[in-house]
Amino acid sequence: MRRGQYVIGTGATKGRLLPPLLAAALLAIALYAQFCCPQGFSAMRNLLFDAYMAVFPAAPQAPVTIVEIDEQALMEHGPWPWPPATLGTLLERLATAGAGTAALTMIPSTEAGHGAHSGPDRHVRGPGAPPDPLAEGLALLPTVVGYALTDQGGSGAPPPRRVGLAVVGVAPARLHKRLPASLLPSAASVGTAAGLGALNVFPDPDGRVRRMPLVVQMGDELFPSLSAEVLRVATGAGSYLVRAAADAGADAPLSIRIGARIVPLDDNGEIWLHYAPRAALPVLGAAEVMAGAVPAPQLADRIVLVAVSAPGIGSRVVSPSGEALSAAVIHAQAVSQLLAGAHPVRPRWAPGAEAIAGALASLLLILLSLRLRGAWLVLSGLLLVAAVLAGGFWSFRQHLLLFDALTPAATIVAVFTVLSLSSYVVTERERRFIERAFSSFVSPNLVRYLMRHPEQLRLRGERRECSFVMTDLAGFTPMVERSAPEALVDLLNDYLDGLIRIAFQHDGTLERIVGDAVSVHFSAPVVQPDHAARALACALDIDRFAADFAARMRGDGIAFGDTRIGVHTGEVIVGNFGGRSQLDYRAFGDPINTTARLESANRFFGTRIAVSARTVAQCGQTPLRPIGSLMLKGKRTPIETFTPLAEQEIASGLADAYARAYRLAERHDPGARAAFEDCAARFPHDALAHFHLERLRRGEFGVEIRLEK
């Protein structure tokens, strides 16, 4: 006895240790994936960071204004691109209003109707040439002019710099996104502008712009972006200093110094954008500015970014919220947060901190699982997930730190799932044994459902649409009279075992067996949205099995009849019936009687399966042919009925010949009789074609068939 008790105790101990061991193994795999495949989590991480910024948007207080060349401006001053004189006039108006700094977030044209030039030779103005009106406008106030780096066309000449840009560090900076060519404005614009900056932004794979570069790279050289140049010009800073990380422990792989500001960058020279609400940035129309209709305080001493915003003109980018924005808006967002000295940062040590947070929380949950069960363990898991997510939001709200709290939260959820599933496997071993035992007598899906929902063992019912399959063996009574009892029992058990096995394979519920007849229903007790398709597929499999079984029996000299099958769908009442002494789960309703009559109707047509139109309407591409509109006994409306088509019936042309004849009969066409005569002659073994032919010969017409039995 002690040895037996010792063995049982050891097995129980092993069972209790299995869930924690499996959870620990999953935790190790999750941590390995985080370090080896960080890009696999980038999409989820970006969505979380978008949520941070949506919940806590920026509140810009920097003096930044956007002037948009919109439809009104194009209507009043001509189509885009504007000639240099028109842009020069806009800059003159900004200077007159007292703007502190301006920036053109487009590449200005050198003459009307032409875009930016791509080669330096086309920017040169000869001696004695008239003054460039755009250059004159640029000279009136400090202005930054945009250019673009590109990998499609452009010039191989590097863009000029207005100030120096030094790079220091243990290794030369090499950004991930380097471009080989440039698209530059005119030489006069370049010479007069206070700053020149790259307009490039690099959207994420989902097309949304979440970061703004402060430096870009062409070949092996770094150049400032337009946002960086606006900050430099607006603050009167000198040259740039880009510093590469001296070691892996630094907070950022790169940083840039602009005047007194040191801005950490990611490994592509970018900062994260903390978007402010669109209404927080003042936006003026270029037409109002050029008309002098804008009060001076709205422009005085402000940084003004000019952009083209008319539909179909100018570049547009998509914010994390899915809003299409002009280039000026995102540069304004970047300049505003740079001036405020506050922008989101993702430290280099963030992935390690996230992995540690996920590991510690998961290990704590594993330890708690040794003591807690059920709702208490669920509550513990929810609290740990909530704590990790709250920590991520708190870090962003208080310090603008971007921590990926979703990855450790997902790790905790995965560990909890493994703990729950493996605990279920261990604790449900005996219940599965009971389920297997009961499944020998009733439908396995019913047993599984009742094991999960024992409260359903009550005397109550509900209305539900279900599908039904009923079978009957032709000639069973004469076979009973001719057969020995022992042989008949074995034969019938083999036959019924095959039918029931097929019903269970399709997750049907065995309702009852009466002699040789079997009744199966679908979508009760467990709702099955595809119950009609399951019922039809079950009927087809039963038909194949029954035909093979009958052929084998006849080969052994036993006169085994055909199996007739009816399939129908309708609303019934399902539930447990039978009183307190015996519970019997079954369905009640007219669709059951209809199914039985469809099964019985097969004997009139020479078919083996009769399927109602209500079932067919919910099925897929199963090939069927119509039997007719059956007026069953006791019914007021006919039921359109079908029977499946075998592959050989389709290949032989029977399906097409029958369909043509049936359509003629359906239309009461006099040619229907000739068509069915032709079909019956070509296919003499098709009982259904002969049935319709005999009806037509008796003077009946149409496809409505009245059955009184």
How many alpha carbons fall within 13 Å on the CB side of residue 438? 15
Burial category of 68 from C-beta neighbours within 10 Å (exposed 0-12, middle 13-18, buried 19 and up): buried
Average pLDDT of every residue of the chain: 83
Once rounded to an integer, what is the mean pLDDT over residues 372-385? Answer: 83
CB atoms within 10 A of CB 336: 24
What is the band of 11 on the pLDDT scale with cuts at 50, 70, 90?
very low
Query: Are 566 and 598 a contacting pair, CB within 8 Å?
Result: yes
Q: Which H or E run contains 465?
A: strand 461-473
Average pLDDT over residues 186-206: 86
The whole-number pLDDT of residue 9 equals 38
pTM (2 d.p.): 0.55
**Distance in angstroms between the alpha carbons of the first and the last residue of the chain:** 69
Band (pLDDT 50/70/90 cuts) for residue 175 is: confident
pLDDT tier for residue 669 given thresholds of 50, 70 and 90: very high
Quote the DSSP letter at residue 158.
P
Q: Which of 254, 241, 182, 247 is nearest to 213 (CA)?
A: 254
* pLDDT digits 0-9 by tens, 548-599: 999 999 998 888 899 999 999 999 998 877 665 555 678 899 999 999 999 9
Dist. CA 515–CA 564, nearest whole Å: 14
CA distance 96 to 189: 20
In the structure encoding, which two tokens stand for residue 361, read together?
A: 């929380």
Q: Confirm if 143 and 104 have CB atoms less than 8 A apart.
A: yes
Scan for tokens 């002037």, then name that residue. Answer: 67
Ranking 51-60, 123-132, 257-266 by mean pLDDT, the lowest is 123-132
User: CATH classification of 458-642 is 2.40.50.140, yes or no?
Assistant: no
Per-residue model confidence as pLDDT tens digits over 104-113: 998 886 554 3
DSSP state of 611: E
Using the Cα atoms of residue 107, residue 111, residue 114 and residue 120 in order, give the sign of their dihedral. Answer: negative
Band the pLDDT of 12: cuts 50, 70, 90. very low
- Whether residue 81 is preceded by a cis peptide bond, meaning omega within 30 degrees of 0, is yes
Ranges of CATH 3.30.70.1230 domains, the chain: 458-642
Mean of pLDDT values over 61-72: 88
- The residue type found at 684 is P
Closest CA to 132 of 42, 182, 59, 192: 192
Under the banding of pLDDT at 50, 70 and 90, the label for residue 125 is very low
So what's the pLDDT on residue 698? 92
Specify the residue for token string 């399927």: 611
Count CB-CB contacts under 10 A for residue 323: 13
169 has a pLDDT exceeding 80 = no
Above 70 in pLDDT, residue 379? yes
175 closest CA partner among 261, 251, 95, 266: 266
Is the pLDDT at 101 greater than 90, yes or no? yes
Vertex 266: Cα angle to 260 and 269 (nearest 5): 70
**Please, what is the Cα angle at 346 between 340 and 349, to 5 degrees?**
135
Question: What is the 3 state secondary structure string of 60-83?
Answer: CCCCEEEEEECHHHHHHHCCCCCC
Does 122 have pLDDT greater than 70? Answer: no
Residue 13 has pLDDT above 90, yes or no: no
Give buried/exposed letters for 419-434 (b at 16+ CB in 10 A, else e).
bbebbeeeeeeeeeee
Structure tokens at 610: 């009769």
**Burial status of residue 72 (CB atoms within 10 A of its CB: 0-12, 13-18, 19 or more):** middle
Instruction: Assess whether pLDDT exceeds 90 at residue 502.
Output: yes
User: Tokens 């399709």 sit at which residue?
Assistant: 506
Query: Is 80 exceeded by the pLDDT of residue 172?
Result: no
Please give the share of the chain, as a percent, with pLDDT higher than 70. Answer: 86
Q: How far apart are CA 337 and CA 334, in angstroms?
A: 5
SS (H, E, C) 666-707: HCCCCCHHHHHHHHHHHCCCCHHHHHHHHHHHCCCCCCEEEC
SS (H, E, C) 512-555: EEECCEEEEEECCCCCCCCHHHHHHHHHHHHHHHHHHHHHHHHH
313 by Cβ neighbours in 10 Å (0-12 / 13-18 / 19+) ranks as: middle
Strands 143-150 and 316-318: unpaired
Which residue is it, tokens 């040169």?
124
Assess whether pLDDT exceeds 50 at residue 123. no
Residue range 95-109: mean pLDDT, rounded: 88
Quick one: tokens of 97? 């209003």
For residues 384 and 361, the answer to whether their CB atoms sit within 8 Å is: yes
Distance of CA 696 to the CA centre of its chain: 56
Q: So what's the pLDDT on residue 15? A: 56
Averaged pLDDT for residues 267-290: 87
Confidence of residue 409 (pLDDT cuts 50, 70, 90): confident
Q: Count of alpha carbons within 13 Å of 554, Cβ hemisphere only? A: 10
Residue 690 pLDDT more than 90? yes
Segment 378-392 mean pLDDT? 88
pLDDT per position as a tens digit, 215-224: 999 888 899 9
pLDDT band for 6, please (50, 70, 90 cuts): very low
| Residue reference for tokens 């409306």 | 637
In this predicted structure, the answer to whether residue 144 has a pLDDT above a threshold of 90 is yes
Looking at residue 581, its pLDDT comes to 55
At 636, the amino acid letter reads: R
**85: pLDDT strictly greater than 70:** yes
Q: Which residues pair with 136 in a beta bridge?
A: none
CA 220 – CA 239 distance, rounded (Å): 19
The whole-angstrom separation of Cα 506 and Cα 535 is: 8
Residue 437 scores a pLDDT above 50 = no
Check residue 634 and give its pLDDT: 80
pLDDT at 478: 79
Mean pLDDT calculated for residue range 440-444: 58
* Whether the predicted pLDDT of 446 surpasses 70: no
* Pair of tokens at residue 169: 């560090």
**CA within 13 Å, CB half, 578:** 12
The CA radius of gyration of the chain, in Å to the nearest whole number, is 40
Question: pLDDT-derived band of residue 124, with 50, 70 and 90 as boundaries?
Answer: very low
Of 204-208, 548-552, 601-605, 687-691, minimum mean pLDDT range = 204-208
